[in-house]
Amino acid sequence: MQLEQVPMKILVAMKQVPESGSPFRIDASGRWIDEADLNYTLNESDAYALEQALQLKGLHGGEVVALSVGPDRVQAVLRDALAKGADRALHVRCAEEPGRDALGTARLLAAAIRPESPDLVLSGLQSEDVGHGQTGVLLAELLGLPHASLILQVEKSATGLSVKRELEEGWLQMIEMPIPAVLAIQSGGSKLRYANLMGIKRAKTKEMRVIEAGELGVDLAPAVVLDHVSATHKQKSTQFLQGTPTQAAAELVHKLKFEARVL
Amino acid sequence: MSTVWVVLEERAGRIAPLSWEALAAGRQLSKLTGLSLNAVLIGAETATLAGELSNQSLQRVVRIEHPLLTPYTSDGFALALEQFFRSADPRYVVFPHTYQVRDYAPALAARMSQMLLGDVVEICPAASEGDSPTFVRQLLQGRLSGHYRHTGDGPCFLSVQAGAFRAPESQAGACATADTFPPILEAAQIRTRPGQPFRASAQTVDLASAERIVSIGRGIHDAANIPLVQELASVLDAELAASRPICDSGWLPPDRQVGSSGQSVAPKLYVALGISGAIQHQVGMKASRCIVAVNKDPEAPIFEIADYGIVGDLFEVVPALTEAVKSIKM
């Protein structure tokens, strides 16, 4: 059988993050935000990673396994992945721990992935909350697999994969690589699907396996510690124009012409 | 020997602009810690790049050269730099936060049991003597700042955000001549095969040369609302641009995208409408001379770099602006 036709087992690492419009207040410890009144959602680029996995499964068959690390609330993004078409889910359960660094999280994920021996591991490029943007690259390193990051498109080829990588300033590049491999997926490469009612119903019968992080025997001593968080200090002092839209607009245009002299 | 090393990147045969900013960050670290400043060049052939460093007052310049290091691959760079840094014993390794660095530096750091502190915007002096400097990165898309300490038992790897550190003028003082470090690499160790870079579509708009830009973000809600903004752009004699989600949705062509994955612009006037101001967008436009932001969220990060702001509904503000510009022109 040609390699193009061999079905793949694909693991997708996904993160649940606070909704971007949420009010972020620094908590009493000063080390993280108050999580009490936050709504959570799936990290955007992880949604594209899942979409890529589901498309590959649609074309070549195989299995898609959704994976997430965190407290019980992260099961919401895993259930959503199951509803969209993932076959099963792995939840690496642990407390939300601001003291754990990106390498620690990647070690937990890698420990959960290793016994699955997947053909392909996908992650989103970067999380919208902490934004280290390293999970994919670190998973490849820890699993001893080749990787590519900033990937917009994935196709199977005679020797493995042919992926489209985004470069800076509008340039792109194709990369040929063997499988198994790890890819960090950039947002925007494909159109996202939504879960339909049938999918949501089916998701309830799919496997959601919980793995206790403590049982993975992973060294979580951080190399980097988030000491505290603070309000971002403004780089410029913004003049806010008040009043009705008409008043504010008129004053702004006046200032642009006579103060900033850019009209 | 405990030192500061800066890894410089090449673009179009020269040291890339952002790499000069990384060098400035390295120099700041060197001054804060009293450790010497050194630079690394990496590629198949780096002699010309080394020439650009002759007036930078560096203790050492090392050229890591091997035919397998051009074109760039993550495997090649991580292997070669790991071999070098295991022998050089650095205290700090500073990178520019480029797409390329993001692709290999986390793996390089992990090999030395460290974690790359990516996208650093500020280096702060140690709180008390004997402590190490702290590093600031943006969290939650720029809404808060995170202050980080390196606690690992080994070198501290960091990459610096575009525009956060001022690129250096030439420094008085001669530079040691560059020596070369030949890494041991074999073709079989390079597992990926990169193709030639290409552009997705012909570049039909040169936003970089526009004097005025009106730019839209998610706040525009629907492609059907774009004519409203187009009208404002027309009366301002401005080019229309957008943040990434708008181009991803196909509402505007990709050559109108501003940000790290689109074009970098620095017009006289940049009007950001319904753009929250994620870091990836800011790096592409914050050099603009005058920035105007209209957003319904008073805490949107775009206001941190705006000269003028209106907190309000862009569907009310934009028509009012169009009228105001028309009336001032008459």
Average pLDDT over residues A236-246: 91
pTM of the prediction? 0.89
The per-residue pLDDT for B174 is 66
ipTM: 0.92
Average pLDDT over residues B315-319: 96
Chain centroid offset of residue B34 CA: 26
Chain A residues with CB under 8 Å of B102 CB are 133-134, 137, 149-150
Smallest Cβ–Cβ distance between A130 and the set B139, B151, B312 belongs to B139
Pick the CATH number of B4-189 from 2.170.120.20, 2.120.10.30, 3.40.50.620, 3.40.50.2000: 3.40.50.620
Q: Which residue has the higher pLDDT, A168 or A52?
A: A52
| Secondary structure (3-state) at B145 | strand
What is the C-alpha to C-alpha distance for residues A205 and A200, in angstroms, rounded to an integer? 10
pLDDT at A253 over 70: yes
State the average pLDDT for chain B.
92
CA-CA distances (angstroms) from residue B128 to A29, B3, B125?
21, 20, 9
pLDDT at A91 over 80: yes
| Secondary structure (3-state) at A146 | coil
Confidence of residue A22 (pLDDT cuts 50, 70, 90): confident
- The helix (H) or strand (E) run that includes residue B81 is helix B74-88
A254 interfaces chain B, CB cutoff of 8 Å: yes
Relative to beta strand A40-42, strand A16-18 is antiparallel
A253 interfaces chain B, CB cutoff of 8 Å: yes
The per-residue pLDDT for A100 is 87
In this predicted structure, which of A68-82, A225-239, B103-117, B315-329 has the lowest mean pLDDT?
A225-239
Test A128 with B103 for CB contact under 8 angstroms: no
Relative to beta strand A239-240, strand A8-13 is unpaired
User: Residue ranges of the domains in chain A?
Assistant: 3-216, 237-263
What is the C-alpha to C-alpha distance for residues A190 and A185, in angstroms, rounded to an integer? 11
What is the C-alpha to C-alpha distance for residues A46 and B261, in angstroms, rounded to an integer? 18
Confirm if B26 and B144 have CB atoms less than 8 A apart. no
Confidence of residue A4 (pLDDT cuts 50, 70, 90): low
pLDDT at A80 over 90: yes
The rounded percent of chain B whose pLDDT value lies above 90 is: 77
B150 interfaces chain A, CB cutoff of 8 Å: yes
In this predicted structure, which of B110-119, B173-182, B300-309 has the lowest mean pLDDT?
B173-182
Confirm if A5 and A114 have CB atoms less than 8 A apart. no
Q: What is the DSSP letter of A128?
A: S
The per-residue pLDDT for B171 is 67
Per residue in B1-22, pLDDT tens?
A: 579 999 999 998 999 999 999 9
Test B290 with A262 for CB contact under 8 angstroms: yes
A245 interfaces chain B, CB cutoff of 8 Å: yes
pLDDT at B212 over 70: yes
| B 104-143: CB under 8 A from A | 104, 106-107, 109-111, 113-119, 134, 137-143
Torsion of CA B217, B220, B222, B228, to 10 degrees: -120
The per-residue pLDDT for A39 is 93
Confidence of residue B287 (pLDDT cuts 50, 70, 90): confident
Chain A residues with CB under 8 Å of B199 CB are 170-172
A133: nearest CA in chain B?
B102
Instruction: Kindly report the nearest CA distance between residue A66 and chain B, in angstroms.
Output: 23
Confidence of residue B209 (pLDDT cuts 50, 70, 90): confident
Confirm if A61 and A51 have CB atoms less than 8 A apart. no
Confirm if B37 and B153 have CB atoms less than 8 A apart. no
Pick the CATH number of B207-329 from 3.40.50.1220, 3.10.20.740, 3.40.30.10, 3.40.50.720: 3.40.50.1220
Instruction: Kindly report the nearest CA distance between residue A207 and chain B, in angstroms.
Output: 32
The per-residue pLDDT for B300 is 92
Test A224 with B303 for CB contact under 8 angstroms: no
B75: nearest CA in chain A?
A146
Backbone angles phi and psi of A167, in degrees to 5: -105, 180
The per-residue pLDDT for B182 is 96
Q: Is B68 exposed, middle or buried (0-12, 13-18, 19+ CB in 10 A)?
A: middle
User: Going by C-beta distance under 8 Å and a sequence separation of 6 or more, which residues neighbour residue A15?
Assistant: A42, A43, A46, A68, A69, A70, A74, A77, A124, A127, A129, A135
Confidence of residue A135 (pLDDT cuts 50, 70, 90): very high
Closest CA to A169 of B317, B98, B270, B109: B98
B311 interfaces chain A, CB cutoff of 8 Å: yes
Instruction: Kindly report the nearest CA distance between residue B195 and chain A, in angstroms.
Output: 5
Number of cross-chain residue pairs from A and B with Cβ atoms under 8 Å apart: 261
What is the C-alpha to C-alpha distance for residues B258 and B248, in angstroms, rounded to an integer? 12
Provide Rg for chain A, Cα atoms: 22
pLDDT at B172 over 80: no
Average pLDDT over residues A222-242: 88
Average pLDDT over residues A86-110: 92
Torsion sign over Cα A38, A44, A50, A55? positive
Instruction: Kindly report the nearest CA distance between residue A146 and chain B, in angstroms.
Output: 6
A159 interfaces chain B, CB cutoff of 8 Å: no
Per residue in B30-85, pLDDT tens?
A: 999 999 999 999 999 999 999 999 888 899 999 999 999 999 999 999 999 999 99
Relative to beta strand B37-43, strand B4-8 is parallel
Chain A residues with CB under 8 Å of B148 CB are 224-227
| Secondary structure (3-state) at B274 | coil
State the average pLDDT for chain A.
93
Helix segments in A126-244, DSSP class H: 135-143, 197-203
For B80, other C-beta atoms within 10 Å of its C-beta total: 25
| Secondary structure (3-state) at A30 | coil
What is the C-alpha to C-alpha distance for residues B273 and A45, in angstroms, rounded to an integer? 23
pLDDT at A101 over 80: yes
Average pLDDT over residues A115-130: 96
For A174, other C-beta atoms within 10 Å of its C-beta total: 17
Strand partners, A16: A42
Q: Which residue has the higher pLDDT, B200 or A102?
A: A102
Helices A135-143 and B99-111 sit at what angle, rounded to 10 degrees? 40
Strand partners, A1: none
Provide Rg for chain B, Cα atoms: 22
Interface test with B, best of A31, A101, A186, A252 (most B CBs within 10 A): A252
Per residue in A25-54, pLDDT tens?
A: 999 999 999 988 899 999 999 999 999 999
Helix segments in A168-222, DSSP class H: 197-203
User: Residue ranges of the domains in chain B?
Assistant: 4-189, 207-329
Closest CA to A222 of B93, B116, B78: B116
For B316, other C-beta atoms within 10 Å of its C-beta total: 17
Average pLDDT over residues B286-294: 93
The per-residue pLDDT for A99 is 76
Chain B residues with CB under 8 Å of A248 CB are 310, 312, 317, 320
Per residue in B122-161, pLDDT tens?
A: 999 988 877 889 999 999 988 899 999 999 889 999 999 9
Confirm if B116 and A134 have CB atoms less than 8 A apart. yes
A30 interfaces chain B, CB cutoff of 8 Å: no
The per-residue pLDDT for B189 is 97
The per-residue pLDDT for A3 is 57
CATH 3.40.50.620 applies to domain A3-216: yes
